[in-house]
């Protein structure tokens, strides 16, 4: 098993879990510790990507560009990356983030919509930064479809394409099939991004590595949307136990996870009924806070909303369905 490149996305995926309330001081502290620990890539942006601070996705307390600037100024070794979702972000935001100093962009789309990414991959390469493809909600499509989509991204200039388990819905056989298929079909690197709704974030990440994944993601303390991600510090500990030396200082990671990130959590990151139902139904994890708000407002269970969204195959960008479903369920209850 090769030594993977680890991206910590506490300051992007974790943004969902803290209701987009990161401050410059928080970013500086977390980046400094991750950088000193030797984490090679740190992702910083609104949870929904550049320009994600909207009424639909949730407003940020501080401008993400201010936070990215702090991250770039703080990191001495790590590469600062951001997430970019076409339709939420535009070329203007991508250019601005590069001007501030990001060195990688992760271009994320639903796993059947790679064709909308071409202009952004081309722009990223024109601007001289690393470009990574994110095939979100990868559990919804078989490996053959993901291969077709990943090949498109590769043809546009992607340096790596990720299998992204946005709902935490994949089990290990599904991870192995998808990662193996991309490794066989592509000449570029393959990555894997896990969520923990079924308690498999670490196991699935190890399975991805066994299948040949080159890049993996984690967040400190598992801080992320829904049931969170593979905890960065746990990933490093497990890899150390497997004699896979990432060069990352575990002690520093444990300290910042315990003494900084744990204190930011508004609620514990656990696999409760809502998170389990999200993973089981295959619903996008970033929906959770919106689902819980709608459930409380209309007097229905969040798990019932999740179940119905799963039946409707809701994807990112369809957050407006949450209220529709909540209203319909409330009417049925009479």
Is position 28 annotated in a ligand binding site? no
Is position 166 annotated in a ligand binding site? yes
- Please pick, among 16, 46, 110, 290, the residue that the annotation labels catalytic: 16
Reduced to 3 states (helix: H, G, I; strand: E, B; else coil), residue 195 is strand
Whole-angstrom distance between the N-terminal and C-terminal Cα of the chain? Answer: 56
Is position 193 annotated in a ligand binding site? yes
Distance CA 31, CA 261 (A): 12
Distance CA 225, CA 269 (A): 9
Distance CA 75, CA 329 (A): 48
Contact 309, 329 (CB under 8 A): no
CB atoms within 10 A of CB 32: 17
Close Cβ partners of 193 (under 8 Å, ≥ 6 residues apart)? 9, 134, 162, 163, 164, 165, 166, 216, 217, 229
On the CB side of 32, how many CA atoms lie within 13 Å of its CA? 10
Longest C-alpha distance within the chain, in Å?
59
Q: Does residue 16 carry a catalytic annotation? A: yes
- Name the residue among 321, 273, 308, 7 with its Cα closest to residue 164: 7
Q: For residue 18, what are the CA distances in angstroms to 13, 22, 48, 271?
A: 10, 7, 13, 17
Sign for the CA dihedral angle at 188, 194, 198, 202 comes to: positive
Binding residues: 12-13, 166, 193, 195, 284
Binding residues for Mn(2+): 13, 193, 195
Hey, which residues are catalytic here? 16
Binding residues for substrate: 12-13, 166, 193, 284
């Amino acid at each position: 098993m090769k030594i993977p490149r680890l991206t910590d996305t506490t300051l992007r995926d974790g943004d969902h879990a803290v209701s987009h309330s990161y401050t410059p001081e928080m970013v500086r502290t977390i980046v400094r510790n991750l950088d000193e620990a030797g984490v090679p890539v740190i992702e910083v942006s609104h949870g929904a990507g550049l320009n994600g601070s909207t009424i639909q996705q949730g407003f940020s307390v501080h401008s993400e560009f201010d936070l990215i600037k702090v991250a770039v100024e703080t990191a001495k070794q790590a590469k600062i990356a951001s997430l970019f979702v076409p339709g939420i972000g535009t070329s203007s935001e991508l250019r601005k983030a590069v001007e501030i100093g990001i060195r990688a962009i992760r271009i994320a789309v639903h796993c059947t919509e790679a064709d909308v990414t071409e202009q952004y991959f081309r722009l990223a390469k024109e601007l001289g930064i690393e470009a990574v493809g994110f095939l979100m909600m990868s559990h919804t499509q078989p490996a053959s479809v993901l291969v077709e989509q990943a090949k498109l991204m590769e043809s546009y200039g992607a340096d790596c394409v990720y299998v992204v388990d946005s709902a935490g819905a994949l089990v290990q056989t599904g991870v192995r099939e998808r990662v193996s298929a991309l490794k066989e079909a592509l000449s570029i690197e393959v990555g894997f991004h896990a969520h923990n709704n079924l308690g498999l974030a670490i196991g699935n990440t190890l399975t991805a590595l066994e299948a040949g994944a080159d890049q993996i993601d984690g967040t400190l303390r598992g801080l992320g949307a829904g049931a969170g991600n593979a905890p960065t510090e746990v990933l490093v500990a497990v890899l150390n136990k497997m004699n896979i030396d990432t060069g990352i200082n575990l002690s520093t990671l444990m300290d910042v996870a315990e003494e900084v990130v744990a204190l930011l959590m508004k609620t514990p990151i656990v696999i409760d009924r809502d998170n389990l139902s999200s993973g089981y139904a295959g619903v996008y994890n970033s929906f959770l806070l919106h689902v819980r708000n709608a459930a409380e407002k209309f007097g229905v269970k969040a798990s019932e909303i999740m179940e119905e969204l799963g039946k409707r195959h809701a994807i990112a960008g369809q957050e407006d369905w949450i209220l529709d479903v909540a209203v319909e369920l409330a009417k049925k209850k009479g």
